[in-house]
Structure 1
Amino acid sequence: MPHIYNMSGGIIAYNGGKAVGDEAFGMEFFVSGEFSDVFRMSYAMEEGLRQLYLTLKDLCEDKEVKDLLARLARFEEGHKAKLKALFPEVDEKGGENDLNTLEGGYNKQQLLDHFKSRVVAQNDVIQLGMMLETQAYDLYSRLAKKAENPESKEFFEFMVGEEKQHLVFLSNEYDKVLG
């Protein structure tokens, strides 16, 4: 049975925030249905996120935040290695033009522009990572449900598990920050 947590303040603390956006957000990158294209796009999104973390690392001065960003970048590098090991027959080349699109379909440059105007703090990095990983988890879950090709379905389900592991790590890091 999964762990269940009680949010401080419960329903009374809810401030009315709602999820926004189209249900198809991010799925347009995977419309071809060709497995090699799906793999390349996922691989490029992982690389784009790795590059975002490394760029943010260069923008901040706090050693603890730099270490966290480096670790998150290594997760993405490890994720890419797992993808290549799991699907060695598929060439990752071809998604290089898509490196501005991150996991979940977010635009890397827009996120960099947001962080360039502020001090990069640890809780900001954790929240950014959680937002991106949650969006990617949701995207890959929806793609797995819609996949008609068994190879693509297996791939998306694998990606769901990877994103879940990243979220667990970030959640634990956030618990540490909250003390």
Structure 2
Amino acid sequence: MTAAPSPAIDRPVVLVGLMGAGKTTVGRRLAQKLAIPFVDADEEIEVAAGLSISEIFARFGEPYFRDGERRVIARLIDGSPKVIATGGGAFMNELTRQLILDRATAVWLEADIDTLVDRVRRRSTRPLLKDRDPREVLTELAAVRNPIYALAPIHVRSQPSPHDATVRAILKALAG
């Protein structure tokens, strides 16, 4: 079986979804398949601020973080083809969401709660999970955020199986 040719990408592809959906891991692999750059918005925010995401939340609060996140994403969406992984809350900000929808191709990586919980337990750096039960937090976030993520024109299920299956599904959706 031969692989389908990669679609031509003429603008940024922005991955949105809850924490643990695989935006960074899938994004790296997708960019590699498309032979375009990959950028993790959270990493760019940390570089710009000189602080970790957790430190920004602790020192300045979520509204301050979201404002910086919007500015960084606006800088990243410069029209050139690339894959951008966003933080789980980025698409919730109306200005950030409109920027992404207007100037990029948004892809919602949707995953079931069990998959998300399994993935987020592997990292202790998520501010919204600090001292809380991941299943409870993710269930609450999904109820609020999934209807907004659904505004992305492309929806792909992030499977608990190897990320390459998700990458192939995105490539197929991008090819139209």
TM-score normalised per structure 2: 0.27
Name the structure where strand makes up a greater proportion of residues: 2
| Structure whose CA Rg is larger | 1
TM-score, length basis structure 1: 0.27
